[in-house]
Structure 1
Amino acid sequence: MSRGIKRMYLRDITPSTSDDYFLVGIVIAKQSPRSFPSKRDNTERSVCNFTFRDSPSHYVNIAIWGSSDYVNYTTQQFHIGDVVDVISPKANFNRSSEQESKFQPAVTCPFTLTLNEKFSNIKMHALEDCAQFLPLLRLPTQPPTDFLLLQDIHANSQALCGKFINILVAVQSLNAVRQITTKEGKLLESREITVIDQSHSKLYVQLWDADNAYRAENWLPRETVLFIANLRVDWNEYKKAMTGTVTSRTIITENPSTTEANALKNFARTAPVKPRAVLTQLATNYPDPNSITNIMSCRSVWEKAMTGGCDNFTALVYAALHDFDIDGLKPVSVTKCKYCGLPVSEETFTCVNFDCPVQSSGEMMQCETMFDVTVKIADHTGSLNNCRLIPSVTESLLRCNVTEFESLPDEKRTLLKWEYLLQQCKIRLMVLPVTRELSKPLFSILSLEKVNVKELAVNMPMI
């Protein structure tokens, strides 16, 4: 506590407020110090910016100015999440220029605060009321429903390139902190994380400042939810995908206290992470396969899937069914973990996926047995191998569930096979294209029905 001067709140500061006061609040964002030569005497000056909050409705940007030694030392004394006393700040009600606003977080206060090496100070709050400020860390600085889905970011890459957007995501994985030396010889610390939401399985996000890079040490995959306000998104040519970058405008709210965040957290705990499991979930939950009307040939589907650089896509294909092996030695069913969607050990009935939340939660694993049938489809342009029928489609074709099918005699299975084998069909696909991590595309069949010659002749594409 600072003695001899009065305590104030951000809501009370006006243009006529003198500098003899102090504020108590929590640091919700912080940037690394920047240095440059002074125009007055050519000495080196430094500045560090951080964002400070003392109530749900009031948060402000603060700049610490001074010599490089002073600014570097001072900023090492506090971090995001610390409760601090801001002593004798100067309020500046001059409207920030458009250039300045490009490099600062959006705040609610109509002023900025400046701390000067000679007249101001910042120190850790010493009283026992620090806990009352901690809930402020879990309140997003933007409206809780004002965010884009990851699917929309990937689908609108051209329109969103270079834009700043809000996202609500769960942490999927974290890479180690890396040190990078710039052309000017400055050492930077960065960290890449991968995040997910209910609409898409991946967005890479780069953390460039030391505070956030080390703050991420406490983030738990499939547990930590982040509301990231003003994330810059760009096309990454190396990854062939949209990626996000945390900049000086960005504020990250951990595990926000919102209904949307709680729903995402429940989803993330059981969301699939492996490409095949991800595709299976997307295909199984596709709302209306009949809405897929874009007709493509097998060749055009394959070429688009192998090109990469695009999100999962759907297609309507007119093709014949090949390799419909349901009466041979090939298994037609699989037992999967309900949590991660991957096959379980048939000997022990335990999940062998180390990323599965069951491994760390100690919960009892739940399994389900379902159809697991792959087919080959072909038209006059080529073929697509290993197209997996989603279980509901297999049940529809065979007119029975997996338990009933396993009790059928071989003769009955063969009859069911020849009802569709080599028949011309109308097939709706969902495709997961190649990526840096996925060397071959994956195909799921959302619906399949036989088609008459007239419809085939009208709709069969030439190439």
Structure 2
Amino acid sequence: MAQACAVSSNYKQLRKGNTELSYIGSERYTFSFTIRDSPAHFVNATSWGNEDYIRSLSDSFRVGECVIIENPLIQRKELEREEKFSPATPSNYKLLLSENHSKVKVCSNYEVDTRLLSLVHLPVKEPGDYYSLADIVANGHNLDGRIISVLAAVRSVGEPKHFTTSDQRQGQRCEVKLYDETESSFAMICWDNESILLAQNWTPRETVIFASDVRINFDKFRNCLIATVISKTIITTNPDIPEANILLNFIRENKEKSLLDDEVDSYLKESINLSTVVDVYTVEQLKLKALKTEGTTDPFYGILFAYISTLNIDDEITKVVQNRCSGCGYTVKEASSICPTCNNNSSDFKRVFPSFDMLVDLTDHTGTLHSCSLTGNVAEETLGCSVNQFLSMTDEQKTTLKWQFLLERSKIYLKFCLSHRARSGLRISVLSCKLADSVEASRNLSGKEKV
């Protein structure tokens, strides 16, 4: 019999894992978790059995709780095979739990050895053994498929999304956005129940995590690297290490700056591989889809063949061009042209530069999308001129440029996401807008029934 703290469950420390179905013989389920009773010692435990037993065992405790394990079978582990899918542990042994002979009991408050509780906040890897988010981005494709550790703050936690696989198995996923001193946003995806439950307890912009052994992959849709929680991953919440304390102080001191609103999120480069956006809609279909996705946090994307029906580039210049901070992307409206966020009490002044920032209406035969955001490089590519070239134009030249696009059918890639600042509750951003090929446009006028 031994008392220990559960630091992982079918995943590494601070997490529980999934139940898995085995088709060898009769249906059997397996559940694995990791326990720890000292800073240097932790071990994996696995149990096999029928569905009722495994689900009951999985639901009986959570990561971070202290348990007493009675009558486990101690077995030497096969390092190469087992550590490919399970957390790497310093021990050469593992625990096997039998439904008939073993027992896992959650310790009551008066039974808990208080020395175990501090282990929940102690990473299983060396404190310096991690990548910063900037290191990951800088390495690019070199890290694709690699398993590494990450220390970062939690910027946001998405709602769990449920799905059904092609073989009718139920699953769910949850996207967590991370950030640190070097990067403003980096995605981490959780697929298993326990890591998703753990993530739901994190407070954005107040929580730091040490995620050991996450997998880094290149996401073709986003055209960037993302992290994925896998069966080897152990996540330590608010780790008690100097590096985490430094990061925690940073996010507290910069909390107001880190509250990037929708406008800034749109400006900060969210690189999307447009070739992965294939669903074609009409305006009517897009409005219906927006209603059906109301309440979700994930954006959706689509292609629209439509006219630009409102393009007021010959209006007041402040409605077309805004000054933006090169550091955080905020619109700088002060006459001093100094960003009050980045340059507050700092000698490292960030450059302010002019950027397109306008609203356009898009119309097809089914309706109109009002106040779509056309900004930055996308606006420059659409209009065919830089901001400085535009600013040097006469009013007559701007009007001429405007009529090159009005009432000309375009192929437009759009992003839709919820925004409390938008009047309609939905922010629509133009990702690309080019004059459409007439044959392709006529072939797609009815859109696709993807709503």
Give the structure-1-normalised TM-score.
0.58
Matched, 1:241 2:241: no
- Please, what is the CA RMSD of the aligned residues? 4.0
Aligned residue for 1:122?
104
Q: 1:266 deviation in Å?
A: 2.2
Distance 2:82 2:70 in 1: 24
SS at match of 2:214: strand
For residue 161 of structure 1, the aligned residue among 144, 147, 170 is: 144
Output one character per residue of 1:35-86: Cα deviation in whole Å (capped at 9) or x when no partner. 2134xxx322111000101111111110012222111111111111111111
Q: 1:235 deviation in Å?
A: 0.8
Residue identity opposite 2:22 in structure 1: F
Output one character per residue of 1:74-118: Cα deviation in whole Å (capped at 9) or x when no partner. 11111111111111111112x414232111011122211111111
Output one character per residue of 1:143-175: Cα deviation in whole Å (capped at 9) or x when no partner. 111111212222222211111011101111111
Q: 1:215 deviation in Å?
A: 1.7
Aligned residue for 2:202?
219
Q: Give the paired residue count.
A: 308
Matched, 1:176 2:162: no
Distance 1:307 1:281, change over 3 A: closer
Aligned residue for 1:23?
3
Q: 1:274 deviation in Å?
A: 5.5
Distance 1:217 1:375, change over 3 A: closer
Give 1:127-166 correspondences, 5 Å limit: 127-128=109-110, 129-166=112-149
Aligned residue for 1:56?
39
Residue identity opposite 1:117 in structure 2: E
Output one character per residue of 1:244-284: Cα deviation in whole Å (capped at 9) or x when no partner. 110100001101111111111222231543598699999xx
Aligned residue for 1:385?
387
Aligned residue for 2:55?
72
Distance 1:139 1:435 in 2: 44
Residue identity opposite 1:124 in structure 2: V
Q: 1:375 deviation in Å?
A: 8.3
Aligned residue for 2:91?
109
Distance 1:281 1:262 in 2: 27
Distance 1:335 1:239 in 2: 24
Aligned residue for 1:268?
251
SS at match of 1:71: helix
SS at match of 2:119: helix
Instruction: Give the conservation status (yes or no) of the 8 Å contact 1:375–1:386.
Output: no
Instruction: Give the conservation status (yes or no) of the 8 Å contact 1:240–1:435.
Output: no
Q: 1:134 deviation in Å?
A: 2.0
Distance 1:367 1:197, change over 3 A: closer
Residue identity opposite 1:45 in structure 2: R
Residue identity opposite 2:20 in structure 1: R
Output one character per residue of 1:337-383: Cα deviation in whole Å (capped at 9) or x when no partner. x9x8846998xxxxxxxxx9xxxxxxxxx89999855389x9xxx96
SS at match of 2:216: strand
Distance 2:317 2:33 in 1: 65
User: Larger Cα Rg: Structure 1 or Structure 2?
Assistant: 1
Distance 1:133 1:61 in 2: 17
SS at match of 2:131: coil
Q: Which sections of structure 1, spanning at least 5 residues, go unmatched?
A: 1-20, 283-304, 310-327, 347-355, 357-365, 388-433, 442-463
Residue identity opposite 2:234 in structure 1: I
Distance 2:241 2:63 in 1: 21
Aligned residue for 2:28?
45
Instruction: Give the conservation status (yes or no) of the 8 Å contact 1:334–1:370.
Output: no
SS at match of 1:238: coil
Residue identity opposite 1:107 in structure 2: T
Distance 2:182 2:333 in 1: 29
Distance 1:170 1:117 in 2: 40
Distance 1:158 1:248 in 2: 22
Distance 2:143 2:222 in 1: 17
Output one character per residue of 1:305-364: Cα deviation in whole Å (capped at 9) or x when no partner. 99889xxxxxxxxxxxxxxxxxx997999999x9x8846998xxxxxxxxx9xxxxxxxx
Instruction: Give the conservation status (yes or no) of the 8 Å contact 2:324–2:352.
Output: no
Q: 1:202 deviation in Å?
A: 1.7
Q: Which sections of structure 2, spanning at least 5 residues, go unmatched?
A: 8-13, 276-315, 335-340, 357-379, 390-412, 417-428, 433-451
Distance 1:90 1:236, change over 3 A: same
Q: 1:243 deviation in Å?
A: 0.9
